[in-house]
Amino acid sequence: MLIAGALTCQCAFSQDEGVGIIVDNSYEPVGEITPKHTFNLVAGLPNATVNKPFESIMRGIVDVNPYYQYSLPNSIVFGAGFRYIHYAVNEFRTPEPLDGVMHSLGGFLKFGYEKFYTTRFAMDFSVKVGYNWHILDTDLNDKIRGGAYRFDSGFVEPTVGFILSATEHSSYRLTIGYTFQGFIFTPHQLGTQMSGGWEPKEYSKSSQIITFGLGYTYYFGRKN
């Protein structure tokens, strides 16, 4: 009886007083964005290709690209930044047992075309031209050379990006880049004299990579 009475009173109270719950699921558009100055950070997974020894032995771990970009009113963009790529040696694919990593550090200039086609979606078509310093740090190099094997090379990377704005001052992007690197990878650079069983023609191909990345952009010179 008491429970039924309490429920009755509660229902009556709810009917008399009334409780309104308002859910606002409306979307407020960020407005049309015409970038001017931007800071960009793109990180991706590099995958070796073309050069079979490089593709088999070196596992790409991360490819990081922080850069500044300036946009002209006609959507032509140019910028400059740094690049770091980290590889790990796949010890199960090396000609002889060894352990190590490869660091690639350098800088680049970027030229391209980037435009918002709607208030939320944009695309980036660009090319990076740069120079990298490479460090192959393996236990065999330490034993034979007394330290890491070092060399340098240029690179060219065509890139396409799919951009989605998040706020008036920021956006996220998905990128696909194909890098033509100016060096030929050989097991000799790891500190081994063994060929690894690959045909000689495989050592004449450049060490190229394809990178799938995710990025963040901050617009600090935004114009509407």
Nearest residue to 189 (alpha-carbon basis) of 143, 223, 148, 131: 148
149 falls within a domain: yes
Q: With contact defined as beta carbons under 8 Å apart, do 180 and 173 qualify?
A: no
| Residue range of the domain that includes 179 | 36-219
Give CA–CA dist 142/13, Å, rounded: 82
What one-character DSSP code corresponds to residue 179? E
Is residue 42 assigned to a domain? Answer: yes
The enclosing domain of 83 has a CATH number of: 2.40.160.20
The answer as to whether 16 is a domain residue is: no
Task: List per-residue pLDDT tens for the chain, 224 residues long.
Answer: 444 444 444 444 444 445 455 544 444 444 567 788 999 999 999 999 988 888 888 999 999 999 999 999 899 999 999 999 999 998 888 878 888 999 999 999 999 999 999 889 999 999 999 999 999 999 999 988 999 999 999 999 999 999 999 988 899 999 999 999 999 988 888 888 777 777 777 778 889 999 999 999 999 865 54
* Residues in CB range of 220: below 8 A, 6 or more apart: 37, 38, 39, 169
- Beta strand ranges found along 50-148 (DSSP E): 58-71, 76-89, 100-116, 121-138
Tally of domains in the chain: 1
Confirm whether 86 is domain-assigned.
yes
Residue 28 maps to a domain: no
Residue 13 lies in a domain: no
pLDDT (0 to 100) of residue 222: 55
Full-model pTM: 0.81
Residue 18 forms part of a structural domain: no
